[in-house]
Chains A and B, each alone.
Chain A
Amino acid sequence: MQKKIHLKNRDRIYELALESKGVHHRLSIKEPSMPETTIQADASLQADQAFLTTQQGRFVCAVAQDANGIWVGCQGHVEYFEIERKVVHKKTEAKADNELRAPMTGRVISVRVQPGQTVQAGDVVAILEAMKMEFRIEAPYAAQIEKVTCRQGDLVDLGQVLVTLGAPLVAQNKK
């Protein structure tokens, strides 16, 4: 029996097909930016650990699942694989770069801009605080501020949109 699984890790989506026969497993891996590969391994999964013997060598990996995916730790290296449930028709969801997002969970301590205002590249639009450190959110290019979706004092989550920019402004004298 073959099982198909789609996993997302570091902005890449892997299309996996797993075939198992007892302890023998065969996994084919498809990912748009790399050639299709297949690995074979003898493996067993006991409680929260997988013991693998592949051509590369022997590995012991720890696993833990949460609501959206699975954490795998191997020799001090840890990755999170998010389960992609509706991958087939969905294009990679490109994050719009006109949306300035919170780089971490924290508190907004200052909002420096208002809708309609023009900012230059590098201008600070908002300041976040977490763990007593400040992080400045800067405009990546010159633009007019379209929307401000945070207020001073707000607690924001990682990835939450704080400020939305309009189209990049091109210098007037350039033709």
Chain B
Amino acid sequence: MFKKILVANRSEIAVRIFRTLRELGIQSVAVYSEPDAQAPHVLAADDAVLIGPAPARESYLKISAILDAARKTGAQAIHPGYGFLSENSSFAQACEQAGIAFIGPTADSMRKLGDKRAARETAQQLGVPTVPGVNECDTSEQIRAAVHQVGLPILLKASAGGGGKGMRLIHQESELDEAIQASQREALSAFGDSRLMVEKFVSPARHIEVQLLSDAHGNVIALGERECSLQRRYQKIIEESPSAAVSSELREKIQEAACKLARATGYRNAGTAEFLLGPDGNFYFLEVNTRLQVEHPVTECVTGLDLVRKQIEIAAGEKLSLQQKDILLRGHAIEARLYAEDPSNRFLPTTGKILKLRWPTLPGVRIDSGIREGQEILTHYDPLLAKVIAWGLDREQARQRLIQALRETVLLGLVTNQSFLVQLLEDDSFKNGKTFIHTVESTMWDDPEEEWKEPMLLTAALALSSRTQRDRNARAEDRVMSKDPHSPWESLGRWRMLG
């Protein structure tokens, strides 16, 4: 087993991986960019190495700097988390060449499964159904031809990666030019690869994905499905396991399709096969994410497994200690993603300083957080602040617990989607399990502010007036105490010693 592992990531996922490393007694190394010097993930590791300035290209995406950090600290393995370099096969290969274990698939199988076009072709060969579409699109002429072949409406996607980056829904021919350029630019900026694919747009569809574990000895098991239909701008906001729309019969079929893909490609690592579930109950393979997913905690809640721990064991060459029959799904888990974004301003990212932060302590509630009080939230990275996850014996209990957890969360200092998450969870469509990929964007959400207005205004008035009073007293006191009005201490304000 490894003695020291470096985590090439930041924020909540790095913090979450460090937790497992501490549990296992493995030494941990964080890497960080300049503005992240005091970030929670840096504080959660045993050792930390500065790898560059704020832009991800010069720090968290810089392969040479990360490998240097691993060599310098004597780390034997690198966990890439999600995003950043987690699906970059050159990075996996560079690790292999440097003699450092990459906690993920081999570079070769990452190329086979991680590339959406290659994965679609593999699925088609294996008889796993895929959404009608065209894989080969390098130039805008090829894209246009593909659009005509498939027929509008279509989705344009980046070939190289997920996360909604580079993705565009196109209803009309006239939107095409602008969309192609924008998608290519986004794909290039996010993944360094501007290739796109064209897909038929299935609607209303659910997003269903299967969690897989595969070891280096050919053992593959499935850990049930997650439903992640509630999305905005193709980014998930609420995820759950199991799905309200998947029967045990359907589960078996989808799991088998997912396992087939992993087996055929010699996949090794935790991984996720994503599917669209159409209104007719047919499912279509979308892509494989060859890494840990943001929403992995819901699977951990219903299976009792620690997926990061499994990833580490698999990367160390261990055999899976579990068989498919050992996997029992118990209860229901729902995750809500807390983002620095403004639901009343087109979900655009927000910035600010976290002035107050208090997490709830409730039964069945898990918080995966990447923030701390006093931290500045900047626009350099993903706006995900934390994930709030609730488990219950059934879906309704999990839902009620999650609502309660979000209501008891205190996060002041910047605009977030906190109350919007509560609104979504309380909505009848979610309560009844009628969730589709376009539910969030096609629903008019009312402004929920009104009922809180009066108590909130009173609170603000009370706090301000008592503070003004306190400040006034403080200033009077200072004047009495200070002998020299020009002393620099005069302009310092109130302070006190800590500890």
Chain B residues touching A, majority SS:
helix
The segment from A77-85, A90-98, A141-149 that touches chain B is A77-85
Chain A residues touching B, majority SS:
strand
User: For the complex, is B140 an interface residue (Cβ under 8 Å from A)?
Assistant: no
Most buried by A among B418, B455, B462: B455
Mark each residue of chain A from 53 to 96: 1 if its CB lies under 8 Å from any CB of chain B, else 0: 01010010111111000111111111111010000000000000
Residues of A in contact (CB 8 Å), total 57
Mark each residue of chain B from 444 to 460: 1 if its CB lies under 8 Å from any CB of chain A, else 0: 00011100101111111
User: For the complex, is A7 an interface residue (Cβ under 8 Å from B)?
Assistant: yes
Which chain B positions have C-beta within 8 A of A70? Answer: 460, 463-464
Which chain A positions have C-beta within 8 A of B194? Answer: none
Contact of A133 with B233 in the complex, beta carbons under 8 Å: yes
Q: Which residues 108-122 in B have Cβ within 8 Å of A in the complex?
A: none
Give Cα A44–Cα B465 distance, bound, in whole angstroms: 12
Q: CB < 8 Å: which of B350, B422, B462, B466 contacts A76?
A: B422
Give Cα A64–Cα B414 distance, bound, in whole angstroms: 11
Contact of A71 with B459 in the complex, beta carbons under 8 Å: no
Residue of chain B at shortest CB distance from A155:
B379
Least Cβ–Cβ distance between A119 and chain B, in angstroms: 14
Which chain B positions have C-beta within 8 A of A75? Answer: 407, 452
A-B pair count, CB < 8 Å, reads 175
User: For the complex, is B333 an interface residue (Cβ under 8 Å from A)?
Assistant: no
Q: Which residues 44-78 in B have Cβ within 8 Å of A in the complex?
A: none
Give Cα A61–Cα B410 distance, bound, in whole angstroms: 9
Contact of B448 with A71 in the complex, beta carbons under 8 Å: no
User: For the complex, is B182 an interface residue (Cβ under 8 Å from A)?
Assistant: yes
Residue of chain B at shortest CB distance from A106:
B379
Q: Which residues 339-384 in B have Cβ within 8 Å of A in the complex?
A: 344-346, 348-351, 353, 355-356, 358, 379-383
Give Cα A61–Cα B458 distance, bound, in whole angstroms: 10
User: For the complex, is A130 an interface residue (Cβ under 8 Å from B)?
Assistant: yes
Contact of A18 with B465 in the complex, beta carbons under 8 Å: yes
Least Cβ–Cβ distance between B192 and chain A, in angstroms: 12
**A-B contacts, 12 listed (Cβ < 8 Å):** A3-B468, A7-B460, A27-B458, A29-B457, A61-B455, A64-B356, A74-B456, A77-B449, A103-B346, A104-B348, A130-B348, A131-B379
